Chains A and B, each alone.
Chain A
Amino acid sequence: MSSKPPIIEAKGLSKRFVKRLDLAAKVAVRLGSSMVEETVHAVDSVDLKLETGEVVGLVGESGCGKSTLGRMIAGLLPPSQGQVFYKGRDRAALDGEAAKAARLAVQMIFQDPYASLNPRARVESIIGEAPLVHRLTTRGEMPAYVDEVLARVGLSPDFKRRYPHQFSGGQRSRIGIARALAVKPEFLVCDEAIAALDVSIQAQVINLFMDLREAYNLTYLFISHDLGVVQHIADRIAIMYLGRVVEMARTEHLFAAPNHPYARALLAEVPRVGRTKRVFQPVKGEIPSPLDPPSGCHFHPRCPMTFERCRHEAPRLREIAPGRHSACHLNDAV
């Protein structure tokens, strides 16, 4: 790998959501009630590095903090702790033009193609507004600029006078992608960007993502709960469980031999076409509440191989083979 700094690097990134006590609760505490502020550790000191041109899949079940992590990396949520580096420079320390460039370089594509487009704006202004504000185009050249961006995502330029409600789900997600592309980003955070689409449309949009990556040397952080899709598109995969990354590896290595027991369970559950008539062997239990996560390793109450140490000590994510990270005490035992 070159000595160039990674395009995006997260170091010790954490996000805590605190539910503050309201007035009534404060009074109750004065009177001797034992109410305390509730804290959710949505993301718990995550390190993640993305090289230019790479696709990293971020996988986990609902409530594992994958979207929160994505939003922090996209710069939409301020982290409670930790830093995000853009090309080796701390993004929080940048100012002026440099800060603006760093913000424009990282764009986000949202899950819901219905809720993420302004229903009262025409496609032309949805896509053209940001480049205009950032002086990537002028008011006179804007229509031509929008035409070009629409063509890139496979939509006809005739659509630009229309409103979002006049489009199907697949077309809307293309508009969402076009909006992100319009400011010439280098890095896209795709948060469940294809989850709401039908299978045949999903395939079209996945192909579009792969074409765009090739054409513009884009880097993706691809957040999804669908392991099948992530396996197809990602070079590397990070698996999260209750706010922590439990395993990170190259896609082919991960699928060949998952190391962490949670990764093994998750991969075993991926329904696959062709694996006809199988008997489902589920992992026991459900994801515990992030308000009150289990002590030690968060996965220990559901883990088939749990032992004493798992209950007290949280395993650290460490390199178990080149390019391969896992957070499990079992790797120390041997």
Chain B
Amino acid sequence: MNSGATLEVEDLKTHFFTKAGVVKAVDGVSFAVRKGEILGLVGESGSGKSITGFSILGLLDPPGRIVSGAIRFKGRDLAKLSDEEMRSLRGNRIAMIFQDPMMTLNPVLRVDTQMVEAVLAHQKVSKTEALRLARDALALVGIPAPERRLRSYPHELSGGMRQRVAIAIAFINKPDLIIADEPTTALDVTIQAQILYEAQELCRKTGTAMVWITHDLAVISALADRIVVMYAGRIVEAGLADDVISRPLHPYTDGLLGSVPTRNQRGQRLTQIPGMTPSLLNLPIGCAFSTRCPRAAAECSKEQAVREVMPGRRVRCCRPLMAEEVA
């Protein structure tokens, strides 16, 4: 793997120890993100994509914990850091954007108070300087009249505005890595396009690496450089965004792409994946997707290993769709 990566996740396993049994929410996930790159982490609910994000930031709550694996951020293993060391990184070198901006914002504090706090916690600057940084950050994410917005409370802002403030806070200390967990899912299309535009611009300008967690293939195909597809806690396919979208190898990726209405002929039936996501407590033996897979065969009940079919292109399937079959 490229050692110049901002973030390297290697064989990460995050399990939840519940009364009903061990839930392997993340089960051996590996990927890397380079400087200025946007990595799309795609999956449906329960695929472990958000837990992967939380694991990187050390935001797991019991009964969940990282069982094994390494999360190397610029060479340092985050999983081995103390709470104190982790706190000095979080919000400073690594930031997170949540789906709901009110998870980031404190409803009873003004925007300026919260932003200045974020700066002063990690940088030795004066309060005036911190305030200037806060104003610049708001302007950077495209908020009109940032001086006035600084003095508002979160409830005075619209949903799109709040999400921009949350993004501004994430970017304020110029982090090296941002984990964005479905940040535009709750927003309208025109506002979503604005936020995507800002995110793209910021990564290009500041060289920040970004992990964009989403279930929306359409958004990610337009935004990401590389895509990782997760199913039931494991990576089923990874590669360059163009390759994965235009030539999916794993039957699940192919099914997901077929389920998106815009790719299909209007008015015709959508190709659907039969059945539903299996419970993580009761996964099928071997390939977790085999019970829903149209290509399933006897060999699928064996444990599937990730294979690198081309440089940078990984797939976990013994019967992948090969290029000649995907006309």
Contact = CB atoms under 8 A, between A and B. Distances in A.
A271 B191 contact: no
Interface range, B side = 35 or more
Given A62-B188, A282-B193, A272 B218 contact: yes
A262 to B, nearest CB: 9
A221 to B, nearest CB: 17
B61 to A, nearest CB: 23
A170 to B, nearest CB: 6
Interface in B250-264: 255-264
A280 B200 contact: yes
Contact of A201 (B192, B222, B276): B276
Contacts of B242: 276-277
B189 interface: yes
A210 B265 CA distance: 14
Contact of B193 (A207, A227, A275, A280): A280
Interface stretch (B52-60, B267-275, B308-316): B267-275
Contacts of A229: 261
Interface residues of A, number: 45
Interface in A274-315: 274-283, 285-287
Most buried by B among A273, A281, A286: A273
A231 interface: yes
A251 B266 contact: yes
A231 B92 CA distance: 43
Contacts, number: 140
Contacts of B188: 61-62, 225, 287
Interface in A191-219: 198-204, 206-207, 210
B161 interface: yes
A135 interface: no
Given A199-B260, A206-B261, A207-B272, A273 B221 contact: yes
B189 A225 contact: yes
A204 B272 contact: yes
B160 A286 contact: yes
Given A199-B260, A274-B245, A210 B269 contact: yes
A203 B262 CA distance: 11
Contacts of B266: 231-232, 251-252
Interface string B119-162: 00000000000000000000000001000000000000011110
B277 interface: yes
A203 B189 contact: no
B200, B222, B271 pick with most chain A CB within 10 angstroms: B222
Contacts of A168: 276
Contacts of A281: 193, 197
A200 B192 contact: no
A198 B218 CA distance: 13
Nearest to A285: B144
Contacts of B263: 273-274
A314 to B, nearest CB: 21
A228 interface: yes
Contact of A200 (B44, B144, B216, B269): B44
Contact of B161 (A271, A283, A286): A286
Given A198-B215, A276-B221, 20 more contacts: A62-B188, A203-B272, A203-B273, A232-B266, A251-B266, A271-B193, A271-B218, A272-B221, A272-B262, A273-B218, A273-B245, A275-B221, A276-B246, A277-B223, A278-B222, A280-B193, A280-B196, A282-B190, A283-B193, A286-B191
27 contacts: A168-B276, A171-B276, A198-B277, A199-B217, A200-B44, A200-B255, A203-B260, A203-B261, A204-B273, A204-B274, A210-B267, A227-B189, A228-B260, A228-B261, A251-B266, A269-B189, A271-B189, A271-B216, A272-B218, A274-B246, A274-B263, A275-B222, A276-B221, A276-B246, A279-B200, A280-B193, A280-B196
Interface of A: 61-62, 168-171, 198-204, 206-207, 210, 225, 227-229, 231-233, 251-252, 265-266, 269-283, 285-287
Closest 4 CB pairs of A and B: A203-B259, A280-B197, A232-B261, A271-B218
